[in-house]
Amino acid sequence: MDLPLIEFDSVSKSFERRPVPFRRVEAQALALNCVSLRVPRGRTLGVIGESGSGKSTLLRILLRLTRPTAGRVLFDGQDVWGLRGRDLLAFRRRLQAIFQDPMSSFNPRQRIGAILSAPLEVHRIGSRAQRTDMIVDGLQRVGLGPEILARHPHQLSGGQRQRVAIARAIILRPAVLLADEPTSALDVSVQAQVLNLFKKTRVGLGLTCIFVSHNLGVIRYVSDEIVVLRRGKVVESGSAEAVFSSPQHDYTQALLAAIPNLPSVQQCAPIG
Amino acid sequence: MSSVHRVRWGRHRLLVVGGVLVAIFVLTAVFAPLVAPYSPYSLNVSVMLRPPSWSHILGTDELGRDELSRVIFAARISMEVGLVAVAVGVTGGTTVGIVSAHFGGIADLGMMRFMDLLFSFPAILLALILMASLGTGILPAMIAIGIVFIPGFARLTRVATMQVLRQQYVDAARTIGMSDGRILLREILPNVIAPVLVEAAVAFSYAVILESALSFLGLGAQPPVPSWGNMINTGRSFLDRAPWLGIVPGVTLFFCVLGFNLLGDGLRDALDPHLRE
Amino acid sequence: MPDHDPPSEALAIDELCVGFASRRRMTTVVDHISLTVGHGEIVGLIGESGSGKTLTALSVLGLLPRGARITSGKIQVDGVSLLDQSERERRASRGSRVALIPQDALRALNPGLRVGVQVGEPIVIHRVNNWRSALAKAVELLGAVHLSHPRQRAGEYPHQFSGGMQQRAMIAMGLALNPPLLVADEPTTALDVTVQAQVLRLLREIRDGHGTAVLFISHDLGVVAELCDRVYVMYAGTIVEQGPVHSLFTQPAHPYTQALLRATPSVQSVVGELAAIPGQIPQPAEWPRGCRFADRCPVAFGRCTSTPSLFEVGAEHSSRCWWSDPWISRL
């Protein structure tokens, strides 16, 4: 199948800054500037960028949370922003996301059980009993037990919350999983657990993914293809292997050069 | 999860004390005819201006009516006015606030500037102006006070809604496919309502004070209907001869307002999900 | 007759214990930590959340949160013992003997005051009660941290600065009184990687130019490897490994350090699966007996039920693990 599952076609997004309504628009901040990219089915696209690069805006436009100022976004050949009614609902089911801030990703007043069953209720999947089974199964897949269901989000650790976020995202068995800096707020060892879970899930469900991060090591670990964004423009793209081993653009080279060097382990102390 | 429901005396002190006081007043108001020893309207000029005694625990007023009974029935008036006024304020204010925050732009601008206009009037003055067109009496007083509360609730709800709209769980709800209406009910409202409830408790006490003020000025409850306000007004003229006529409704008003304020503070702590176990 | 040399350490922490006092008991969160930072040295303190690294740093500044208390141990900054000081003396030390560079510069800066005023404040408080000279020095400091147009910047407000610029302003503030020791609490965590590189370069310059010692706290191993001379690794309130950067990162001796290195995704190579550490760091109230890492350790064995001491594994490199015990490794 040659048709990419997700395609951005010359997408631009500008945010207007109006100091006082009715006055002339003072400044236009161009978050995205004519961005085009393709994500083939089953592949993971890593989006690298620093703050202000527009990488989060990219995801928000795809998720229909922010309207683009120009350009089209296509999902499976259909214009995402043209969807209505039942088509829109079907789209929602196939495209899910995990967000950055584990603190604000969940309604603090709801228990995890309610949070996980919400997607099922919205799409009217299963009876109540069936839903409970699906939720427990979903938790198990991310390595959590059913005792989590009765807890509130603030009672869980950061790592546990991101696991629940993954569970929520996959409960509808989507085709696409979008991840917006999901491990940036986590410790190294917890990050490793969540990233491994992400990889396992992606393989298990055959997901197509877009993974946004400013951490190049993380991007290298999860991505097949890479896109480098700078101030809203794509400055480099290609396979992960190619971009990381022989970066073409100055900016990419500067980014890679700026990464602190961790000397490789030569010899672990004799053990066992 | 029983720890969530277990009331811990130390932390919920305010809530319990406030709750008890409020409960006393509410129950007294509801069961007034059963609790009051006499009718608040029965005159008996032969026993007028008697100080507290066994037959009239809080004394009698200038027309021989039992003070205790009048204070109890006045509580009823205050509770009614408080309830309706807060209901009007909360409903009107919450609607304005959420709509304003959700739509933004000109609607937000227009509504909030109008709220600012209302807010710029001192409460009692605004109430007086409103009653000039609504007329005097208890019902106009309820509505006027309710309208006085709308800007406060509107501002509160608007800020709370704006904060909630910034949270990622609202984005997550949209991503799942939740309709706007459902998002409003499930995600936004529950997280906005907590500060509103706290404010409502405090507003209740303010409503009681405003009603008393309006009655004091002769605009609220009309005699012979007893209200703490008009009782205090009457008490003014008799301070030398029968001080209890002014003190009794005053002290009762004080405890009622205190109760609602403590309840409001206690609610604020109790409703914060982060403070739960 | 031995010479009484000037204090050879900018910072000497000796058997420090910090605990949180609750109604019923004292929960220890920092358990007998000893570390030193020599003059002109940049020393890294690595740990994840729950390791106690931040509290250790705050102890040095005397800025422990409410409820936390130093229960035993000694802290000496430039030879002066901090724990014997009164609050007033401690306040005099802050800024002049030791300064903090906090994690979130934006929150640490007062949004209502101009940057120049905030940078000059320590000078006015501690040295000269003359705003004009203090502000002049502030401009000088802003230039020293490589902010372009320092005079103009001094007149601006924090929100007009980018994240990197804010962090540099915080560093300028820290340098205002030229303290012998800077405590940097994850100063680059919130910054982009290119900006982070600039800040790290700046810290090195400061060390080279002024001989300022730095205690650099972080959970980012790469940053510590790049910047620091020596490293301490903390886990569950104790130091589990310490040593020179090169030696510790190329020949890690403690299983936790090894596990952290394996769990860090690198840009150079792709592994099929990151070797994640199973389980979670234990909470202070639930610290197990013996080695606290044992239940997550891939090579734990019988001896691990008793607490290991620090064993030398190389030049100035030691590890708190029974496998590093020369008697055991010889078996």
Contact call for B173 and A95, based on CB within 8 A: no
Would you state the structure tokens that stand for residue C130, as one six-digit string? 């003359």
Check pLDDT > 50 for residue A272.
no
Q: How far apart are CA C325 and CA A269, in angstroms?
A: 11
Span B207-226, average pLDDT:
86
Q: Please tell me the predicted confidence (pLDDT) of residue C42.
A: 95
Q: Does domain A6-257 have CATH number 3.30.70.140?
A: no
Chains A and B form CB pairs within 8 A to the count of 67
Set of chain C residues whose Cβ sits within 8 Å of the Cβ of A217: 222, 264-267
Helices (H), B104-177: 105-120, 123-134, 138-166, 168-176
Question: Cis link prior to B224 (omega < 30° from 0)?
Answer: yes
Q: How far apart are CA B29 and CA B79, in angstroms?
A: 7
Summarize pLDDT for B146-203 with one digit per residue, the tens: 999 999 999 999 999 999 998 889 999 999 888 888 888 888 888 888 889 888 988 9
Burial of A55 (0-12, 13-18, 19+ CB in 10 A): buried
Name the residue among B88, B79, B19, B26 with its Cα closest to residue B228.
B79
Residues sharing a CB contact under 8 Å with residue B79, sequence separation 6 or more, in sequence order: B25, B26, B29, B30
Q: What residue has token string 């710029």?
A: B120
Q: How far apart are CA A196 and CA A173, in angstroms?
A: 19
**Edge-to-edge strand ranges of the sheet holding C80-81:** C26-38, C9-21, C68-77, C80-81
**Edge-to-edge strand ranges of the sheet holding A27-39:** A27-39, A6-17, A70-75, A78-79
Q: Pick from B167, B177, B191: which is nearest to A123 by CB?
A: B177
Neighbour-count burial for C223-253, b at 16+ CB within 10 Å, e otherwise: bbbbbbbbbbbbbbbbbbbbbebebbbbbbb
Lowest mean pLDDT among B250-254, C22-26, C47-51, C182-186: C22-26
Task: Give percent of chain A with pLDDT exceeding 90.
Answer: 56
Q: Please tell me the predicted confidence (pLDDT) of residue C329.
A: 64
- How many domains are contained in chain B? 1
Set of chain B residues whose Cβ sits within 8 Å of the Cβ of A154: 273-274
- Half-sphere exposure of residue C166: CA atoms within 13 angstroms, side-chain side: 22
Give A 94-123 residues with CB within 8 A of chain B.
95-97, 99-101, 104-109, 118-119, 122-123
C48 in Cβ contact with C219 (< 8 Å):
yes
Residues sharing a CB contact under 8 Å with residue C1, sequence separation 6 or more, in sequence order: none
Would you state the structure tokens that stand for residue C91, as one six-digit string? 């306040």
B200 in Cβ contact with B90 (< 8 Å):
yes
Which subunits sit against B, judged by 3+ Cβ pairs under 8 A?
A
Distance of CA C255 to the CA centre of its chain: 22
Domain ranges of chain C: 257-266+273-331
| Model ipTM value | 0.84
Q: How far is B103 from chain A (nearest CA, A)?
A: 14
Q: How far apart are CA C127 and CA C45, in angstroms?
A: 31
CB atoms within 10 A of CB A177: 22
Set of chain C residues whose Cβ sits within 8 Å of the Cβ of A56: none
Q: How far apart are CA B184 and CA B170, in angstroms?
A: 9
Residues sharing a CB contact under 8 Å with residue C85, sequence separation 6 or more, in sequence order: C62, C93
Q: Is beta strand C230-235 parallel, antiparallel or unpaired with respect to C238-244?
A: antiparallel
> If you count them, how many residues does chain B have?
277
Give B 158-187 residues with CB within 8 A of chain A.
167-169, 171-179, 182, 186-187
Q: Please tell me the predicted confidence (pLDDT) of residue B10.
A: 61
Q: How far apart are CA B92 and CA B234, in angstroms?
A: 35
Q: How far apart are CA C130 and CA C120, in angstroms?
A: 10
Chain C nearest-CA residue for A265: C250
Summarize pLDDT for C260-271 with one digit per residue, the tens: 998 888 887 777
Domain that holds residue B136: 71-275
Average pLDDT, chain C: 87
Set of chain A residues whose Cβ sits within 8 Å of the Cβ of C271: 221
Q: Please tell me the predicted confidence (pLDDT) of residue B1.
A: 35
Name the residue among C261, C267, C223 with its Cα closest to residue A221.
C267
Q: What is the CATH number of the domain that holds B105?
A: 1.10.3720.10
Q: Pick from A100, A101, A109: which is nearest to B273 by CB?
A: A109
Q: How far apart are CA A92 and CA A63, in angstroms?
A: 8
Q: How far apart are CA B107 and CA B262, in angstroms?
A: 36
CA distances, B143 to each of B95, B157, B217 (Å): 17, 20, 17
As a three-state string, the secondary structure of chain C is CCCCCCCCEEEEEEEEEEEEECCCCEEEEEEEEEEEEECCCEEEEECCCCCCHHHHHHHHHCCCCCCEEEEEEEEEECCEECCCCCHHHHHHHHHHCEEEECCCHHHHCCCCCCHHHHHHHHHHHHCCCCHHHHHHHHHHHHHHCCCCCHHHHHCCCHHHCCHHHHHHHHHHHHHCCCCCEEEEECCCCCCCHHHHHHHHHHHHHHHHHHCCEEEEEECCHHHHHHHCCEEEEEECCEEEEEEEHHHHHHCCCCHHHHHHHHHCCCCCCCCCCCCCCCCCCCCHHHCCCCCCCHHHCCCCCHHHHCCCCCEEEECCEEECCHHHCHHHHCC
The reply to whether B2 falls in a domain is no
Task: Give percent of chain B with pLDDT exceeding 70.
Answer: 94
Would you state the structure tokens that stand for residue B57, as one six-digit string? 């625990």
B148 in Cβ contact with B210 (< 8 Å):
yes
Contact call for B178 and A93, based on CB within 8 A: no
The DSSP H or E segment spanning B20 is: helix B13-30
pLDDT band at B6 (very low <50, low <70, confident <90, very high): very low
Q: How far apart are CA A144 and CA A152, in angstroms?
A: 14
pTM score: 0.82
Q: How far apart are CA A197 and CA A250, in angstroms?
A: 34
Q: Please tell me the predicted confidence (pLDDT) of residue A100.
A: 83
A41 in Cβ contact with A74 (< 8 Å):
no
Domain ranges of chain A: 6-257
Stronger pLDDT, B93 or C130, i.e. the higher one: B93
Contact call for A255 and C193, based on CB within 8 A: yes
CB atoms within 10 A of CB C267: 20
- Half-sphere exposure of residue C148: CA atoms within 13 angstroms, side-chain side: 1
Summarize pLDDT for C206-250 with one digit per residue, the tens: 999 889 999 999 988 999 999 999 999 999 999 999 999 999 999
Contact call for A119 and B177, based on CB within 8 A: yes
Check pLDDT > 70 for residue A151.
yes
Residues sharing a CB contact under 8 Å with residue B133, sequence separation 6 or more, in sequence order: none
Q: How far is A180 from chain C (nearest CA, A)?
A: 16
Q: Is beta strand A44-49 parallel, antiparallel or unpaired with respect to A225-230?
A: parallel
Q: How far apart are CA B83 and CA A140, in angstroms?
A: 49
Residues sharing a CB contact under 8 Å with residue C96, sequence separation 6 or more, in sequence order: C122, C126, C177, C179
Q: Pick from A193, A215, A265: which is nearest to C276 by CB?
A: A193
Summarize pLDDT for B26-82 with one digit per residue, the tens: 898 888 888 888 888 888 888 888 888 888 888 888 888 888 888 888 888 888 899
Summarize pLDDT for A66-75 with one digit per residue, the tens: 899 999 999 9
Q: How far apart are CA A217 and CA A183, in angstroms?
A: 12
C75 in Cβ contact with C59 (< 8 Å):
yes
Q: How far is B277 from chain A (nearest CA, A)?
A: 8
Q: Please tell me the predicted confidence (pLDDT) of residue C239.
A: 95
A86 in Cβ contact with A128 (< 8 Å):
no
Residue type, C126: H
Check pLDDT > 60 for residue A21.
no
Contact call for C319 and A261, based on CB within 8 A: no
Q: Is beta strand A208-213 parallel, antiparallel or unpaired with respect to A225-230?
A: unpaired
Q: Please tell me the predicted confidence (pLDDT) of residue A18.
A: 58
Check pLDDT > 70 for residue C5.
no
Residue B105 φ/ψ region, left for φ over 0, alpha for ψ in the -120 to 50 degree band, beta for the rest: left
Contact call for A95 and B175, based on CB within 8 A: yes
First to last CA, chain A: 51
Supply the Cα-derived Rg of chain A in whole angstroms. 20
Q: How far apart are CA C81 and CA C11, in angstroms?
A: 10
